[in-house]
Amino acid sequence: MQARLVYVVCIALWLMLSALAALSIASRSLLGAEQQFNNQMQQLTEQLKQRLLTNETVLDSYATFSALDHRSETRQKHPFVLQLLRRYPQISALAHIERIPAVQLADFKQKLQHEYGKGYRLRGFSSDATPPAGQDEYFPLMFAEPQSQTNLQLIGRDAWQQPQLRDALQESLNSGRTTLSRQLTLPQGETGYALLRDIDTQQSPRMLDLQPKHFAMLFIRADSLLPADLSLPTGMELSIRHRDDPPQPPDGHALRLGSAGSSQLEQLLFPRLEATQMLGGGNQPLRLTLRWQQGWAQIGLFEWSVWLLLSLLLAAGLALASYSFVRSSNLRRQRESQLFHLANHDRLTGLANRNLFYDRLQHAISRVDRNGKRLALLFLDLDRFKPVNDTFGHVVGDRILQLIAARIQDVVRDEDTVARIGGDEFVILMEDVESNREADKVTTRLKQSIQLPYQVEQHRVLVGVSIGTAYYPEDGLLIDELLAVADRKMYGNKQSLSRESETIE
């Protein structure tokens, strides 16, 4: 039982130490992952800032060119514009918007049909219906590069009818700076943004015409904001959205890369890293959010190998320690048992010695006092044993004593105590004796068994035995009294046998 407890404690200790080692190694790995997360966030922030700055620079160049080129309001292609489109593939289209007061709609229609044909007129942005009357101003697209079939269909469409473009135009009119629209669906069907600013082609002395009349606009694909070779670790998720956009824009798809893909157990055991960075300042207010649910993947093969090695070393060390402790404990108990046996048993016969016999007799007397039963004490003394030692030697005599002890144990009950208290003297303690007949029957069987011949080597030996019996509590209440009565009766039996032997002679 003690050994089992030691092994259970060692297993529990091994599990605890292995868990602590795993926690330490995992913490080290997670610290490295956190550093990687911060580096990833910093790198993405720098790349996005650079791309936003590039987009704004392209728009400024296009707006400056449009302000200087007198052909800015015609549909003629220009090598500079085509060069911009080829060099910056993230730009879906370059467009020119003109602010048209309601009173000038007739002139605008003639101008538009002169440039593009009779089929062109002022239309809604997403349908061919005429914009609703009552507006003071309209903001139609005058042309868009590249001059594809899709972009030609944008000519004459009122940007004010598109909610995202309307908000961007309104902010540009109010602030006079470059403005990024909320996320929208581009004419080509892609998800993106519109970046626009005013073109100062002329200044009117009238106060009402201080607001810009022309606007340059870029359509930017949302997926172009990120590096093409961007690869996110397992469990990392990236999202980019306009500051005013909800997490899931209704008119487009949120720009998301990666997937959490973590289990409930990973969410319970591992931390979740999240960082948000505002980009582009007031001109291009984009919100970059990076999330990383840590998991098993962040603990590499090297860390698992180290933990496994430590766990095996701990298991081996604890197993060796527990085995040594249990073995030492067993050896100690064995030595204690051997010492107890030597102190309480006869070395020659293995029977109880005088000390153990006295102790058992005392306990038996205590039990008799409680339950009211009797016990018998049989005192045995061998006859004709001294000549055996003198004639055959002590080796033969010792062997005879061992055989006698074995015969006595075969006769008595298992619960009876047999002891050797002298050279050729034995005592037997019989508990729960109902009557004297029980002890008399045992006495008779003992004499019959002990007096049978003994064959030791080539010697055939005969010995006799004299037995005296004392009963508790009739013959005494003390151990010494009982032994004295049994000894006295044994001598009486021995003298009786001697007289019978003389009479026969």
pLDDT at 404: 93
pLDDT at 426: 94
Q: What is the mean pLDDT of each run of 10 residues along the chain (505 residues)?
A: 81 90 84 89 90 90 76 58 83 88 87 83 81 84 83 87 90 88 84 88 49 88 82 84 78 66 80 89 88 83 87 91 87 88 88 91 87 87 88 90 93 92 91 88 93 90 92 88 89 71 46
What is the CATH classification number for the domain harbouring 469?
A: 3.30.70.270
Same domain for 61 and 204: yes
Q: Is residue 487 situated within a structural domain?
A: yes
Rounded distance between C-alpha atoms, residue 423 and residue 118, angstroms: 144
Rounded distance between C-alpha atoms, residue 255 and residue 267, angstroms: 24
Q: Is residue 462 situated within a structural domain?
A: yes
| Boundaries of domain holding 408 | 354-504
Widest CA span of the chain, in angstroms?
A: 171
pLDDT at 128: 73
Q: Is residue 155 situated within a structural domain?
A: yes
pLDDT at 105: 86
- The residue written with tokens 């979740």 in the block is 272
Kindly report whether the global pTM for this prediction surpasses the value 0.75: no
Q: Is residue 497 situated within a structural domain?
A: yes
pLDDT at 269: 82
pLDDT at 86: 84
Q: How many domains does the chain have?
A: 2
Q: Is residue 35 situated within a structural domain?
A: no
Rounded distance between C-alpha atoms, residue 249 and residue 283, angstroms: 20
What is the CATH classification number for the domain harbouring 177?
A: 3.30.450.350
Boundary of a domain, candidates 225, 240, 256: 225
ω into 146 cis (within 30 of 0): yes
Boundary of a domain, candidates 167, 197, 225: 225
Q: Is residue 306 situated within a structural domain?
A: no
pLDDT at 69: 60
Length of the chain: 505
DSSP 72: G
Boundary of a domain, candidates 202, 225, 248: 225
In this structure, the strands spanning 417-420 and 454-456 are unpaired
Rounded distance between C-alpha atoms, residue 404 and residue 417, angstroms: 15
- CB environment 246-268: b (16+ within 10 A), e (fewer): eeebeebeebeebeeebeeebee
In angstroms and rounded to an integer, the radius of gyration of the C-alpha atoms of the chain is 56
Q: Is residue 493 situated within a structural domain?
A: yes
Q: Is residue 303 situated within a structural domain?
A: no
Q: How far is CA 383 from the centre of its chain?
A: 79
